[in-house]
């Protein structure tokens, strides 16, 4: 959650981004530096484990969990289906190799979904927050 959306009395650190998202001398980050990565996982426990690791290691600034969702797919020549959770990971594109390696170390699937969609545009305050909360 971006710092500017937290209640003033939340007690959580607000970081260095101002409520307006920019100061007189700041330039908003290039939206193209960021991605939204999609990862499906089999259950809430796996979702929480991956999200926690990515956030703790500053590989992602935010991870949303959506689900349950019903996935239908082809696997090893047959039609299959599964109930899954979807992670929406907001991160720097430059961290994708490290993100993939970290997910690989925690994910139970033989072949897991990782699709990174480039960010074409975003609000300046959100992009500044995203930059401040992730390591390059």
Residue pLDDT, tens place only, 54-96: 999 999 999 999 999 999 999 999 999 999 999 999 999 999 9
Q: Which fold has domain 32-132?
A: Alpha-Beta Plaits (3.30.70)
- Range in 13-22, 64-73, 96-105, 123-132 the model is least confident about: 13-22
Total-model pTM:
0.82
Q: Which residues contact 5 (CB under 8 A, 6 or more apart)?
A: none
The pLDDT assigned to 136 comes to 77
Q: Residue 50 in contact with residue 84, Cβ under 8 Å?
A: no
Distance between first and last Cα of the chain = 19
CB-CB neighbours of 128 under 10 Å: 26
**pLDDT (0 to 100) of residue 1:** 54
**Structure confidence by residue, pLDDT tens digits, 16-55:** 444 344 444 467 799 999 999 999 999 999 999 999 999 9
Gap between the Cα atoms of 2 and 19, Å rounded? 10
Question: Do residues 73 and 80 touch, judged by C-beta distance below 8 A?
Answer: yes
Domain residue ranges of the chain, discontinuous segments joined by +: 32-132
């Amino acid at each position: 959650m971006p710092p500017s959306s937290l209640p003033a009395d939340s007690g959580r650190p607000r970081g260095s981004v101002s409520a307006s998202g920019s100061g007189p001398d700041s330039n908003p980050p290039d939206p193209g530096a960021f991605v939204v990565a999609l990862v499906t996982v089999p259950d809430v426990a796996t979702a929480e484990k991956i999200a926690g690791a990515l956030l703790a290691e500053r590989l992602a600034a935010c991870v949303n969990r959506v689900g349950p969702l019903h996935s239908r797919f082809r696997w090893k020549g047959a039609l299959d289906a599964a109930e899954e959770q979807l992670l929406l990971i907001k991160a720097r594109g430059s961290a994708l190799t490290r993100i993939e390696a970290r997910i690989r170390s925690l994910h139970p699937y033989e072949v897991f979904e990782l699709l990174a969609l480039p960010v074409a545009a975003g609000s300046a305050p959100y992009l500044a927050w995203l930059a401040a909360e992730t390591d390059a």
